[in-house]
Structure 1
Amino acid sequence: MFIDIAKIHLKAGNGGHGAVAFRREKYEPSGGPAGGDGGNGGSVILEVDEGLKTLMDFKYKKTYKAESGEDGRNKKQYGKAGEDLVLKVPPGTIVKDEESGIVVADLLEHGQRAVIARGGRGGKGNAKFANSVRQAPRFAEGGTKGEERAVVLELKLLADVGLIGFPNVGKSTLLSIITDAKPKIANYHFTTLTPNLGVVQVDDGDSFVIADIPGLIEGAHAGVGLGHEFLRHIERTRILVHMVDVSSQDGRDPVEDFHKINEELEKYSAKLADKPQLVVANKMDIPGAEDGYEKLKAEVEKYGYEILPISAATAKGIRELEYKILEKVNEAGEPEPLYEEVDIEKVYSLSEKDSEVRVTKEGDIYYVDGYPIQKLMDSTNLDDLDSLRNFQEVIRKKGIIEELKELGIQEEDIVNICGYEFEFFD
């Protein structure tokens, strides 16, 4: 089954918590702090595997979690880091943030990797908080949460040539002749429901990859007839081969068909409409096709396109077409990337609502929340004086005390910090 779009939820591993521990050897009953750091959580990574051609693996399983780091231990032993979760995707996969629609990765080459959700950092053990003044800290740092993402994977095929046209104009027949691909072929509309890829071997070892895109219809740019699913697969191609049935067997006008397909390309993407295009007049073996060909040729040449007459059924003109396509591909040069390289950290830092500290007032109560403060609360032992002093020092350095004063806080007013209530004393 060909699957070219998938929505998945990714969760990186949490960092392990730092340990609170003290040396208790036989001859050192009052040893110093010995709590080790927690291990880092595993990240979720996407990696290109050229052996894959579809996103089928993501059709049924929608949620993926990396391993969390282990907590720190006694004797300054670090917790084990969580293993990264590596998910394999086919070449041509783009990754979009589901909420914003921003493309965060464009994965093209075999082995290329992108870290989509980063693992949490392990917290420091109490041994790291010891100093000349605080020699036996009874608190440690909590590990940070792993990042969580909802993303959309979208496959845009990698091919040199996109074969386009209305349904039933002979695209699949042509593909079966010039490549080893074996598409279904029959005389009815929408025979091809998924794109087919094939490699065309020309003389002297030259070759190109061609994609037979399912027949387009009017309204394809707006998604009619699965239009979006089809059109996305020609965005990466270097040239377009536009096949038109000039036999008028179905009472169709080849000139009208030519314009309708180009209108759909223009409405979907101006970049698509600007791609180099080679027009192929098919079914020249049918009586009366010559008139349709001359009529189409006169119209096509107005736009500066070349046109080649062929018969896919009898293979007439096929060899000339292969050489012409190869020539056009070489002239077109390497395709430009679909998307500019993005700084994934910057993209997500803009959408991370919990990365900031919020200080607000509702009625008579002041509120302080946000992930950095929650992390601080997780690291604080409220029953230990040293731990409380460290907590007060951190919130003062973060400017929270100043913000509370700007909101008008007075002595003994209530401050709710991540669900814990305190009385304010300056």
Structure 2
Amino acid sequence: MRHNILLFLVFGILTASFSLSDTRAEDVVVHNVTELRQALNGARAGHVIRIAPGRYPGGQSAAGLQGTADAPIRITALDLADPPVFEGGGNAFHFSSVSHIVVESLVLSGSQYNGINIDDGGKSDRPSHHVVLKGLTVRDIGSGGNHDGIKLSGLKDFKVENCRLSNWGKGGSAIDMVGCHQGEILNCTFFGSEDDAGNGVQAKGGSSEIRILGCRFDNVGSRGVNLGGSTGLPFFRPIDAPFEARNIAVEDCVFLGSPAPIAFVGVDGAKVRHNTIYLPGKYVVRILQENTNERFVKCRNGVIERNLIIFDPARMGSTTNVGPNTMPETFGYVDNAWFSTDQRGRKPRHEIREEKGVTDRIPIFVDRDGGDLRQSRDSPTREYGSRADTALTPSR
């Protein structure tokens, strides 16, 4: 009996020892590209890959990473105060056919085409899913072409959170989504140039159920958000989608500059609510149809509601640019507050219907010249515009 008890205790100790060893193996620290590639190739559900501080070459890739809801695969910085920097490469990282992965707290710089590229491996019926990108810094990507900071193609159930992007390709987007569904872009910051032809965030190629929340767009290019776009027919997901984008929401964001902060382009339903739009360069909204294939619905069903828009009448003749092959009668401004910088209570000119617009209130900001667009407690327009302090305050 005593012998059996002793064997049981020894077996228990060995089992616990093996369990601890397995747990340690799931949390690996890498110091160079060779170790990183080995860790990616061997990554399984629950594994955490911590990358030591330093500079690493871009061009890293992995396919088929499969975490689980309870045990995602995490790729992160060892030291959050000194994140690793990945430089160069076509893409700093390229992930294909993945699920339940988290990529966080990395710096991606100087890639030739995209900072990070995640796709479905060309299997449009099997999207990558449950992907989280968090706390990434993506900068100086591409050149004058269609090069994106974050490129997502064929994703479902995903989140891009607390990321900071600057200087992507002049013809690209900070975040470009093609055939993506049920995703959130949350509390991100974008820095660009009004001289660029690109966009801040774009959702096209049959994308649906996308929410852009609490983000700050600082002179990000010709269009702050491009809700829809123009996609080649083979790249739609689903392949037969009759719209570029559907059911898109933009809420609690801040837009500074840009010729057109908001563009509806071949979209079938979108809401733009509670945003602060400061000194748009030419228009507040554009309504366009760039993909004129007969299967597509005309751009329709957009609501612009309870936003605070500060505009310079010398720069903006009309709030809205309406292109051909669209349905402008299905769009409307609803209960927005407009403030003209000449302080004359000037009512802007619209090309679409307006309901309950306010023009006789002067907003009071914490530090408008310094870029802090939080409103004081006694601001007459406090119930309009963004409610997200992270978007309203400048971050450098």
Say yes or no: TM over 0.5.
no
Normalising by structure 2, we get a TM-score of: 0.27
Structure index of larger Rg: 1
Higher helix share: 1
For CA contacts below 8 A with separation 6 or more, give which structure has more relative contact order.
1
Higher strand share: 2
Normalising by structure 1, we get a TM-score of: 0.26
